[in-house]
Amino acid sequence: MQQKEFICTTEVMKKLSISRNTLLKMVATGNFPQPLRLTGKCLRWREQVVSDWVAKMERAAECAAQK
């Protein structure tokens, strides 16, 4: 499957199954990568950054489950 370069807030929310508030809180607390602000209200994430973050969280969960 070919990845897009940038994804919008709605796509990130769907990928993570979280609400907009949760996503923005995660960004504000440093628990999720910062978006790129393309224009005043236009936030986008690099899809690879989001995929890498998800993979990192999956590895952390696997390690925790093995302990």
| DSSP three-state, residue 2 | coil
User: What is the structure's pLDDT at 65?
Assistant: 86
Residue type, 42: C
pLDDT at 7 over 60: yes
Q: 8-56: per-residue pLDDT in tens?
A: 999 999 999 999 999 999 999 999 999 999 999 899 999 999 999 999 9
Report how far residue 17's alpha carbon sits from residue 10's, in angstroms, rounded to the nearest whole number: 10
pLDDT at 1 over 80: no
Question: What is the DSSP-derived secondary structure letter of residue 29?
Answer: T
Q: What's the whole-model pTM score? A: 0.84
Q: What is the CA radius of gyration of the chain?
A: 13
Question: Which positions ≥6 away from 9 have C-beta within 8 Å?
Answer: 20, 23, 35, 43
Confidence of residue 3 (pLDDT cuts 50, 70, 90): low
